[in-house]
Homo-oligomer: A and B are copies of this chain.
Amino acid sequence: MPYVNIKVTREGVTPDQKAELISGVTDLLVRVLDKSPATTFVVIDEVALEDWGIGGVPVEQYRREAAG
């Protein structure tokens, strides 16, 4: 009975893409660990760009600096 939480930045993820993530990660748990889909939960969190930090700065600043 796995529980999977996927956090991604909020940048226009569509319901179809979410359904693909749910189905893909459930299939993975079935294949690798023989888990039952019926008791596999997947929860997706979209996180606003200003709420996600990497490299000590918010992600948008991080990308600008990486893009140089």
List residues of A (31-67) whose CB comes within 8 Å of B's CBs.
31-33, 35, 37-47, 50-59, 61
List residues of A (11-47) whose CB comes within 8 Å of B's CBs.
13, 15, 17-29, 31-33, 35, 37-47
Asked if B17 and A7 sit within 8 Å, CB to CB, the answer is no
- On chain B, the residues within 8 Å of A41 by CB distance are 1, 3, 41, 52-54
Q: How many monomers of this chain does the complex have?
A: 6
Interface size class of A (residues with CB under 8 A): 35 or more
Asked if A58 and B9 sit within 8 Å, CB to CB, the answer is no
Query: What would 4 more interface pairs be, CB under 8 Å, given A7-B43, A21-B29, A42-B53?
Result: A17-B33, A18-B51, A38-B54, A40-B56
